Structure 1
Amino acid sequence: MSRRFFGTDGIRGLTNKSPMTAEMAMRVGMAAGRHFLRGDHRHRVVIGKDTRLSGYMIENALVAGFTSVGMDVVQFGPIPTPAVAMLAASMRADLGVMISASHNPYYDNGIKLFGPDGYKLSDADEMKIEALIESDDIPLADAAHIGRARRVEDSRGRYIHFVKSTFPEHLRLDGLKVALDCANGAAYNTAPSTLWELGAELISIGVNPNGTNINDGVGSTAPQVLQETVVASGADIGIALDGDADRLIVVDETGAIVDGDQIMALIGTSWARRGTLKGGGLVATVMSNLGLERMLASHDIPLIRTKVGDRYVLEEMKARGCNVGGEQSGHMILSDYATTGDGTIAALQVLAALVESGKPASELLRQFEPVPQLLKNVRFAGGKPLEAESVKTVIADAERELNGSGRLVIRPSGTEPVIRVMAEGDDGDQVRRVVERICDAVASAAEHA
């Protein structure tokens, strides 16, 4: 049975268009709240958000939904996604909610749900919540048992304290010049405070949110300003978070971008040398570069691949007992510290390695030579272009051509009407030709659907 509302990372869409309306948010609160009314204790949900203008609307609607079924609500205000996960568990909440569309523009928004253990919900839980959303009769609390709502003003401070505790006690960031881009998003306050308290000299970007400038020319998906700032200021390293701060991209002192694969390679191999890498391997998605897989193999570290989505990385990590996993896009899950991706915690691991090594970032973070890889998106209006025989034929031909020298990954996006076509291999020209042929076939099939 397919899901109507939940994608690979919660519910997401254009604000004030289905499913991201105030009415839907209230029903999500009612349904999720009802689903987690278990036991006879006083039930609690914690809610955080990023800096989008629509966060006020979605938050108030969720509060109405949760309180109507008898759940008390604790509101944090703007705070990173991983902070919601951490505080949900710390405050013994039955549920955690993050209002964010991550790296999307301000006019999108989303709802991410975390269970009482701080982990994202399972597919089974999401299906049950969907069934309640679509039901005609969600049981409401009687008048005496309607929930209460309150704000916790020190939530950011609690999160900053926790994040700092993951940084090695014997190290400081004194003398390190760090350019930090917070995407005008959820970490605009917490990330600069964390690095400053650890001693870093900071150059801050994207720390003046106004409701509509989140991810607008800043952040991990738009690192150009950070690259320029690092070079112009002579910074030792640049860190770019996304809108909800659950992922990061690094820029070395030359202005070159360092993606999640290189960060995973650094953390995975350094933890293996220390004997703290668990589960016998590192977990990443099918999108991670073949060069990462080859490099890890040279250190006798298997790379376990999952389908795209940090939730699937985490599921595999839990199943195998692994403590390092992530995505090329910058989601880093370090389960010794967090139950979900945390860009700030991952950044601190990188900065700790930089301080300890004494090497420039360009040397430290070039862990392997990436295999030529090309990813293109084909937007479509409707239908299922990947099911067209013409597309299947082109894909089969491409797989035969790459056999033994590369990989092919083709998938529909879980958050927008886009087909993602990725190929990689030792021959860059071959990779480009393969991707272009498949994209043309997908576009043609979509046009005639």
Structure 2
Amino acid sequence: MGKYFGTDGFRGEANVNLTVEHAYKVGRFLGWFYGKEHKDNKAKVVIGKDTRRSSYMFEYSLVAGLTASGADVYLLHVTTTPSVSYVARTEDFDCGIMISASHNLFYDNGIKLINSSGEKMREDVIDEIEKYLDGEMGELPFAVKENIGRTVDYSAGRNRYMGYLMSLAIYSFKGMRVGLDLSNGSAWSIAKGVFDALGAKTYVINAQPDGININASCGSTHMESLQELVKREHLDVGFAYDGDADRCLCVDENGDVIDGDLILYVYGSYMKERGKLISDTVVTTIMSNFGLYKAFDAAGINYEKTAVGDKYVYENMLNNGYRLGGEQSGHIIFSKYATTGDGILTSLKMMEVMIAKKKSLSQLASPVTIFPQVLKNIKVLDKKKTQEDIDVKAAVNKVTQELGDNGRILVRESGTEPVVRVMVEAATLEICQKCVEEVIEVIKSKGYAI
């Protein structure tokens, strides 16, 4: 991760540590960088944004920078991250930009950069952008006269993406009662239209964005409202998205949450039954629940474990040709259809399994027993030394042996804070708590804790 860009773009509080000047300079660099590759010096960039108040400000700043460097900019307006990815890879754009801070509250925002293949931008390009932001490249030339870029209203691109989603549904949703929590975010402009067109009777909540209510006690980070809706209206299923709709969590007919791990099990099993699961393998992250792996073992499904982040999941899938991967948080990647997590696509795929198997979501997920989990963070003086300490390692090994095949321990450092995270999954909460405390006590006794 760089100084400005993390695994999911440049994110920060609007006009505090992510400013209009940052956005302008990102635009200036991208317009110049991609313009070099064209004889006419015209780069072609597509931009989408979510509903938070500052998204408009950052959109205008990016457009000013891009057009000043000679790029033509196509505006999708309020749309989802996966729609920007889809349009970038299918309609001959040099790159795409999504203005969003995903599941964060409205006062944060972010700039996500997407390459012409619909994937996250290459690290070497990000490194060059960071150098320019820090003034290490000097000034870039301005476009003049007819070389100055233009802006184009491109809401048609968003409509084509909606058509693409509808084309992937192999069954009518007629007779299905579906709840949608749109998080007052990007899905507001797309999800209901897709489900309605496919014949579902939709019950929608949190679809009144006002610029400051995105993700506010709603969406995939706050499932209570959707759970209530599903139970109150006796719905077949509910789907909740985050602010930019690249993740989805579900609620079954009983009002219980079906998280990303359970989604991976349901769809992975469905793919395996049909011989569509390449190498019978699903890609997960190290934070997936131990119960998922036990269920995969029982179903004869192999799995890979990556670092936390959908970026790493996708890289593993791309390198090995796998078709399904994702995170517990609801970032699910169906690589045959998309190059990024896509919340609305995920919900359509869950509908497909329910209809094809003629089973409820609770029945489809029932083979998975989620293990209790305890995660504790401890502030430390040195993350690396803490984890490499011989006594800390011995404590971790002791817990590993005690748990055997009935649980696991994971000790990892935070990427952004002076914190080590100790996580244990086991048959009971009591066992989890006891094992976590054993390791934390050793960390404290060795003087690493702050």
TM-score under structure 1 length normalisation? 0.92
State the distance in 2 between where 1:425 and 1:254 align. 25
Which residue identity does 1:359 align to in structure 2? K
Q: Is this contact kept in 1: 2:239–2:251, CA < 8 A?
A: yes
State the distance in 2 between where 1:141 and 1:238 align. 50
Q: How big is the shift at 1:402?
A: 2.3
Between stretches 26-35 and 281-290, larger displacement belongs to: 26-35
Q: How big is the shift at 1:91?
A: 1.9
Q: 1:375 to 1:118 in 2, by over 3 A?
A: same
Q: Is this contact kept in 1: 2:272–2:280, CA < 8 A?
A: no
Which residue of the partner structure matches residue 117 of structure 2?
A: 117
Which residue of the partner structure matches residue 39 of structure 1?
A: 38
State the distance in 1 between where 2:445 and 2:159 align. 53
Q: How big is the shift at 1:376?
A: 4.1
Which residue of the partner structure matches residue 408 of structure 2?
A: 407
Q: How big is the shift at 1:427?
A: 4.5
Q: 1:183 to 1:419 in 2, by over 3 A?
A: farther
- 1:305-320 matched pairs, under 5 angstroms: 305-320=305-320
Question: What's the secondary structure of 2:219's corresponding residue?
Answer: coil
Q: Is this contact kept in 1: 2:310–2:331, CA < 8 A?
A: yes
Between stretches 176-185 and 123-132, larger displacement belongs to: 123-132
Q: 1:154 to 1:12 in 2, by over 3 A?
A: same
Q: How big is the shift at 1:358?
A: 2.2
Which residue of the partner structure matches residue 257 of structure 1?
A: 257
State the distance in 1 between where 2:385 and 2:212 align. 40
Q: 1:284 to 1:152 in 2, by over 3 A?
A: same
Q: How big is the shift at 1:422?
A: 2.4
State the distance in 1 between where 2:444 and 2:140 align. 46
Q: 1:198 to 1:77 in 2, by over 3 A?
A: same
Between stretches 278-287 and 423-432, larger displacement belongs to: 423-432
State the distance in 2 between where 1:419 and 1:89 align. 39
Which residue of the partner structure matches residue 162 of structure 1?
A: 164
Residue 151 (structure 1) aligned with residue 142 (structure 2)? no
- 1:368-383 matched pairs, under 5 angstroms: 368-377=368-377
Which residue of the partner structure matches residue 12 of structure 1?
A: 11
RMSD: 2.4
Identity of aligned residues (%): 39
Q: How big is the shift at 1:433?
A: 2.6
Residue 386 (structure 1) aligned with residue 383 (structure 2)? yes
Residue 362 (structure 1) aligned with residue 362 (structure 2)? yes
Q: 1:74 to 1:253 in 2, by over 3 A?
A: same
Which residue identity does 2:408 align to in structure 1? R
- 1:217-296 matched pairs, under 5 angstroms: 217-296=217-296
Between stretches 265-274 and 304-313, larger displacement belongs to: 265-274
Which residue identity does 1:158 align to in structure 2? R
Which residue identity does 1:17 align to in structure 2? V
Which residue of the partner structure matches residue 213 of structure 2?
A: 213
Q: Is this contact kept in 2: 1:230–1:253, CA < 8 A?
A: yes
Which residue of the partner structure matches residue 431 of structure 2?
A: 430
Q: How big is the shift at 1:30?
A: 1.8
Q: How big is the shift at 1:14?
A: 1.1
Q: 1:441 to 1:200 in 2, by over 3 A?
A: farther
Q: 1:61 to 1:423 in 2, by over 3 A?
A: same
Q: How big is the shift at 1:421?
A: 3.6
Q: Is this contact kept in 1: 2:381–2:448, CA < 8 A?
A: no
Q: How big is the shift at 1:138?
A: 3.8
Q: Is this contact kept in 2: 1:326–1:333, CA < 8 A?
A: yes
Which residue of the partner structure matches residue 193 of structure 1?
A: 193
List runs of 5+ in structure 2 lacking aligned partners.
none
List runs of 5+ in structure 1 lacking aligned partners.
none
Q: How big is the shift at 1:69?
A: 1.7
Which residue of the partner structure matches residue 397 of structure 1?
A: 395
Q: Is this contact kept in 2: 1:391–1:442, CA < 8 A?
A: no
Which residue of the partner structure matches residue 64 of structure 2?
A: 64
Which residue of the partner structure matches residue 177 of structure 1?
A: 177
Q: How big is the shift at 1:357?
A: 2.1
Q: 1:161 to 1:440 in 2, by over 3 A?
A: farther
Q: Is this contact kept in 2: 1:385–1:391, CA < 8 A?
A: no
Q: How big is the shift at 1:366?
A: 2.4
Q: 1:351 to 1:17 in 2, by over 3 A?
A: same
Between stretches 367-376 and 73-82, larger displacement belongs to: 367-376
Residue 26 (structure 1) aligned with residue 24 (structure 2)? yes
Which residue identity does 2:251 align to in structure 1? V
Q: How big is the shift at 1:157?
A: 1.6
Which residue of the partner structure matches residue 140 of structure 1?
A: 141
Question: What's the secondary structure of 2:168's corresponding residue?
Answer: coil
Q: Is this contact kept in 2: 1:250–1:257, CA < 8 A?
A: yes
Q: How big is the shift at 1:413?
A: 4.4
Question: What's the secondary structure of 1:154's corresponding residue?
Answer: helix
Q: How big is the shift at 1:396?
A: 4.4
State the distance in 1 between where 2:181 and 2:419 align. 28
State the distance in 2 between where 1:142 and 1:360 align. 58
Higher helix share: 2
Which residue identity does 2:140 align to in structure 1? P
State the distance in 1 between where 2:159 and 2:418 align. 39
Q: 1:131 to 1:204 in 2, by over 3 A?
A: same
State the distance in 1 between where 2:377 and 2:47 align. 33
Q: How big is the shift at 1:252?
A: 0.8
Question: What's the secondary structure of 1:240's corresponding residue?
Answer: strand
Between stretches 253-262 and 148-157, larger displacement belongs to: 148-157
Q: How big is the shift at 1:67?
A: 1.5
Question: What's the secondary structure of 1:119's corresponding residue?
Answer: coil
Q: How big is the shift at 1:442?
A: 7.5
Between stretches 338-347 and 21-30, larger displacement belongs to: 21-30
Which residue identity does 2:336 align to in structure 1? D
Q: 1:389 to 1:261 in 2, by over 3 A?
A: closer
State the distance in 1 between where 2:281 and 2:313 align. 12
Q: Is this contact kept in 2: 1:49–1:99, CA < 8 A?
A: yes
Which residue of the partner structure matches residue 130 of structure 1?
A: 130
Between stretches 90-99 and 130-139, larger displacement belongs to: 130-139
Q: Is this contact kept in 2: 1:43–1:72, CA < 8 A?
A: yes
Q: 1:416 to 1:330 in 2, by over 3 A?
A: farther
Report how many residues are paired.
442
Q: How big is the shift at 1:146?
A: 2.0
TM-score under structure 2 length normalisation? 0.91
